[in-house]
Amino acid sequence: MSEDIIKETYEKIKNMEIRGAGRIGRAAAKALKEYAIKISHLSDDEFIKKMKEAGNLLISARPTAVSLPNAVKYVLKGLNEDNPKERVIERSDEFIESSLKAIEKIGKYGANRIKDGYTILTHCNSEAAISVIKTAYDEGKDIKVFCTETRPRNQGYITAKTLYDYGIDVTLIVDSAVRYFIKDIDIVIVGADAITANGCLVNKIGTSQIALIANESRVPFLTAAETYKFHPKTIVGELIEIEERDPKEVVVFKDKYKGIKVRNPAFDVTPSKYIDAIITEVGLIPPQGAWYIIEKYFGWLEK
Ligand code: RUB
């Protein structure tokens, strides 16, 4: 069945086989393209209806990373243009290509903030943050990286292994050790699942604690965020839903302890006042510049 392409990607995003905001967005764009090719024999009206349904299903896979609806909306904007079938396919390719280019540019701009001898702290597993770190290393800078474990899913292990394989000096720490080690850290660089119109950062749970600690210790805290991580609907006051995942990811209590409640929010919100800069593919901006980015790049979206 042609719908299987969409369902498969939906499942993979939901169960986190595909994860990380950028990857989620590109996977959705790719699935829409493959689906569009499969159903291109349908009438335009039927094609448009099915593509919209597919987009809605993909968007419902995870609620927080805005890269997902932004990617789907970018691709499906082709439905309103002449030759909708071709345009959807072309726009999917455009999104994927521009996403990869953005990560590369973010790497270059962000690396300018990393000096020789720096120790960087990162949290979770972000392609954009890793791009900054790898670029600084490629430029010949002698850097060290501290990675948090990132409980409960331990995405920090992926980051630690990726950077270690690249030849970088890596130290893994438990999430609660950030304040203990902050004296050794020169800069914090994390990714982003969403940036709000008022410059707040939504990212992996624990990010806001790290920002607070960095602020207290006067350590710069930067987030690496492609422009498709900016949330258009926050400009009209909508709040971003924070995904709360299965408590079993944290711990399973048995027998008489079954009654212990476990909560598992996947993301948190870092206030803009703790963010020194947002590294985007169009340059470093202060969090106060978020409104401008949304207006400039997402003016075409219905608000
Ligand atoms: C991943 C996470 C990452 C952002 C940015 O959370 O919080 O920091 O998605 O990643 P999860 P990237 O593992 O729950 O998806 O820079 O790769 O888009």
Shared domain check, 216 and 156: yes
Residue 303 confidence (pLDDT): 45
Shared domain check, 154 and 139: yes
Residue 300 confidence (pLDDT): 63
Q: Is 289 annotated as a binding residue?
A: no
| DSSP 3-state of 202 | strand
- CATH number (domain holding residue 31): 1.20.120.420
Name the pLDDT band for 3 (thresholds 50, 70, 90).
Answer: confident
CA distances from residue 16 to 9, 174, 235 in whole angstroms, order as listed: 10, 22, 28
127 lines ligand 1 (CB under 6 A): yes
Which of 104, 136, 160 marks a domain boundary? 104
126 lines ligand 1 (CB under 6 A): yes
Arithmetic mean of pLDDT over the chain:
97
DSSP code, position 259: T
- The model's pLDDT over 165-219, given as tens digits with 9 standing for 90+, comes to 999 999 999 999 999 999 999 999 999 999 999 999 999 999 999 999 999 999 9
pLDDT at 301 > cutoff 80: no
CB neighbour list of residue 104: distance below 8 Å, 6 or more residues apart: 131
Shared domain check, 275 and 189: yes
Name the pLDDT band for 242 (thresholds 50, 70, 90).
Answer: very high
Name the pLDDT band for 1 (thresholds 50, 70, 90).
Answer: confident
User: In terms of residue numbers, what domain contains 28?
Assistant: 3-104
Shared domain check, 118 and 150: yes
Domain contains 204: yes
- Which residue's alpha carbon is nearest to atom 6 within ligand 1? 20
Residue among 106, 204, 229 whose CB has most ligand 1 atoms within 8 A, to mutate: 204
Domain contains 11: yes
130 lines ligand 1 (CB under 6 A): no
Domain contains 273: yes
List, by residue number, the catalytic residues: 124, 193
- The amino acid present at 259, given as its one-letter code, is G
- The CA 193 to ligand 1 mean position distance, Å, reads 6
Which of 51, 85, 104 marks a domain boundary? 104
Q: What's the total number of domains in the chain?
A: 2
| Short-list 239, 225, 232, 228, CA closest to 301 | 232
- The CA 23 to ligand 1 mean position distance, Å, reads 8
22 lines ligand 1 (CB under 6 A): yes
Shared domain check, 115 and 100: no
d(Cα 12, Cα 183) in Å, to the nearest integer? 39
Side-chain-facing half-sphere of 19: CA atoms under 13 Å: 15
Q: Is 99 exposed, middle or buried (0-12, 13-18, 19+ CB in 10 A)?
A: buried
- The model's pLDDT over 218-239, given as tens digits with 9 standing for 90+, comes to 999 999 999 999 999 999 999 9
| Short-list 181, 253, 247, CA closest to 210 | 181
Q: Region 40-64: what's the mean pLDDT?
A: 97
Q: Is 204 annotated as a binding residue?
A: yes
pLDDT at 245 > cutoff 60: yes
Exposed e or buried b for every residue in 135-170, given b needs 16+ CB within 10 A? bbbeeeeebbbbbbbbbbbbbbebbbebbeeeebeb
- Which residue's alpha carbon is nearest to atom 11 within ligand 1? 20
Between the two ends of the chain, the Cα-to-Cα distance in Å is 34
Q: Is 26 annotated as a binding residue?
A: no
Shared domain check, 74 and 32: yes
- The model's pLDDT over 120-167, given as tens digits with 9 standing for 90+, comes to 999 999 999 999 999 999 999 999 999 999 999 999 999 999 999 999
Share of the chain above pLDDT 90, in %: 96
21 lines ligand 1 (CB under 6 A): yes
Q: Give bridge partners of residue 267 from the DSSP assignment.
A: 204
